[in-house]
Structure 1
């Protein structure tokens, strides 16, 4: 089966600095793939090229066989790529359901319908998405008063509004309490399984990465230094040395699961 996402020789230079250097990988349908690495490794730069916020210096990004490298973000989104951000991006003055309705209006190319009747558009569809992420009971609350963990779940509902085949999640659990992190990633994994969505996510919490990833890639100084299963990455000497300082955090995680 052909991969949902196929990246070949992807690079991005900022002057003499190679933020991403000749990265290649595939992402299969329904796969949950983690992209990890130390700060400054190039993870966010890689994400920004995949979603069109940055144009690659070289290389290709193929979505279902079509090269999307350098394409505008809104066009990539309409092709079925959703994204969540490290810092949540919602409309604080709007209600929870209105935020999802806005995303649905964009998906259905109805943003020109911003009239007094806009609040009626796609409401049931928006409520269904909120139910999927466990936020239906807060649909009429304004985003400005939501807890941070609830904002993250709302952002996930917004990302699902275009019925994506691929979700890009940039540090989805950043700023969340440990229990909230586990709950959000379990929710994401369940949605992935139900809908057959592929997910590429970056994350610093190794408990989250090890618990939910089907596969893990490791970036260091812009280069892909490892790609494998949880056990392969956990036991990779180069990863332990470069990313986790000799493997002490991996050992601590193993002890916690023992």
Structure 2
């Protein structure tokens, strides 16, 4: 059985169906890209999986457990981590303190501290930072880091709840090409090492074709295509949605940031 099973998911805002009977599965140890142009329904589907939006109908199962109706915090405790399009860290705190705070929250230590917070879970936080190649910057303030390094810290924070499923909302937004590839190569490594499942939205097609194991494409709330890179690259509906002219994706999977592929 797949780790994540989304079945007949529907969500309407007024008379607009942002998600229209969307179904897909995500096995363990796989990176699944959720693609589509503006208004396709990507963010809506993403936020329903995370519990931020409640669907009108459908089912979202994590390891066979229904998530619909659960609060985001409870979904997080079941092993669903998340990163955001704009990295969310405490800029006034050090790198290691940011990760320690996430670990303390997961272990329910924030409400009854009896010793300095800096003494909690330091070894565990350093181990997570080592996994994202940030241990050497543990004592630096997050406020002085390069943006690519902030994204790595955010990834370490997202791993604090020992996730089975990681949701990444445009993980490479605002990053230079070399930073994008480094972050996604790191994510791919974590997928293999932790048998982690990743669902991510992304507008940079070079990243998608280089690292996604599988892709699903939405348009006007409906799932129009799914498959591997070759299938998606040559799918007529996908070509029409992204380009409007039938032009296919190039074999090298270029960056389509300026081609209307933003989320």
The TM-score, its normalising length taken from structure 1, stands at 0.95
Unmatched 5+ stretches in structure 1: none
Work out whether residues 49 and 70 of structure 1, in 8 Å CA contact, stay in contact via their aligned partners in 2.
no
Question: Shift of residue 254 of structure 1?
Answer: 5.1
Let me know the Cα RMSD of the aligned residues.
Answer: 1.5
Unmatched 5+ stretches in structure 2: 256-263
Distance 1:122 1:249, change over 3 A: farther
Query: Does 2:160 match 1:152?
Result: no
* Match in the other structure for 2:84: 85
Moved over 3 A (4+): 113-116, 244-249, 252-256
Work out whether residues 240 and 247 of structure 2, in 8 Å CA contact, stay in contact via their aligned partners in 1.
no
Question: Shift of residue 44 of structure 1?
Answer: 1.0
Question: Shift of residue 93 of structure 1?
Answer: 1.3
* Match in the other structure for 1:171: 170
Distance 2:112 2:254 in 1: 56
* Match in the other structure for 1:197: 196
The TM-score, its normalising length taken from structure 2, stands at 0.93
* Match in the other structure for 2:160: 161
Distance 1:43 1:17 in 2: 14
Q: Where do 1:179-190 residues align within 5 Å?
A: 179-190=178-189
Work out whether residues 129 and 160 of structure 1, in 8 Å CA contact, stay in contact via their aligned partners in 2.
yes
Distance 2:240 2:53 in 1: 30
Q: Where do 1:1-258 residues align within 5 Å?
A: 2-114=1-113, 116-246=115-245, 248=247, 250-251=249-250, 253=252
Size of the alignment, in residue pairs?
255
The structure where helix makes up a greater share of residues is 1
Distance 2:79 2:145 in 1: 28
Question: Shift of residue 243 of structure 1?
Answer: 2.0
Which secondary structure state, in structure 2, belongs to the residue aligned with residue 233 of structure 1? helix
